[in-house]
Amino acid sequence: MIIFPTSQLPSFPKRIISLVPSQTELLYNLHLNEEVIGITKFCIHPRQWFLSKKRIGGTKNINIKLINELNPDLIIANKEENDKLQIDELARHHNIWITDVKNLHDALQMIGDIGQLTGKQLEATNLTQQISKNFNQLIPTPQIPAAYLIWKDPYMTIGFDTFINDMMKKCGLNNIFSHKTRYPQITIEQIKQLNCRLVLLSSEPYPFKQEHANKLARLLPNCTICLVDGEYFSWYGSRLLDAPGYFNQLLQQLQFI
């Protein structure tokens, strides 16, 4: 969805602000170095942009005054990752492209749309074709019952309507909490009751460490506990190029295939 509240967007934007880390990395891979003038403090990839681009706050704590001063001709946001009230405020003065990505199909569509919007159609097409090819080489497991944890105290997981859930499905992992929506709180007892065999501990947003894995291994003796790189499960931009290779390596290490 795109909003043009104050003016017509130029043929190709020259002053872009990205409010989403995975989409910031995508803009880099579309060779928009000169056009991108602002990113969030969580846009850690690529490293050179993180060090050199103007930071406009967090994904849900945007510095609207600074954005107004930068005077972008396009802001790229996301329905889930950004705060609606702040986006509505920005939309009073700036052109905003709002993405809504829940699965791989949505991600490929988003990449193509941004490529067209920024005059990088060829780069975007090449990118989506390579991502599709790489996912076709993904070797899924035989439907292993699994849980993906994103937080502790309380423990939180992901429901069926999330991008992470779609990545789990691509891996052949059966999300035991797929009957729930978004990011529900759960308990260790629920994990036991649903006959889980594999628990994935994400590196983000909560940075699970080996000590947390060791604790869960004692609480869930019938489960394999594994630390995973959350960027490959949740970043829906150009990070998808390397996600299938990471998934294949992970599943092979777990000896599920």
> Does 39 or 6 have the greater pLDDT score?
39
Handedness of CA 59, 176, 166, 182 (dihedral sign): negative
The per-residue pLDDT for 142 is 84
Question: Looking at the predicted structure, is the pLDDT value of residue 116 above 90?
Answer: yes
Whole-angstrom CA distances from 109 to 23, 41, 197, 252 are 13, 26, 33, 30
CATH topology of domain 2-134: Rossmann fold (3.40.50)
Same fold, 2-134 and 144-253: yes
pTM over 0.85: yes
Question: Looking at the predicted structure, is the pLDDT value of residue 238 above 60?
Answer: yes
In the DSSP assignment, the letter for residue 72 is -
The per-residue pLDDT for 254 is 85
In the DSSP assignment, the letter for residue 117 is H
> For residue range 68-93, what is the model confidence (pLDDT) as tens digits?
999 999 999 999 999 999 999 999 99
CATH number for 144-253: choose from 3.40.309.10, 3.40.50.1820, 3.40.50.1980, 3.30.565.10: 3.40.50.1980
Place of tokens 């295939």: 257
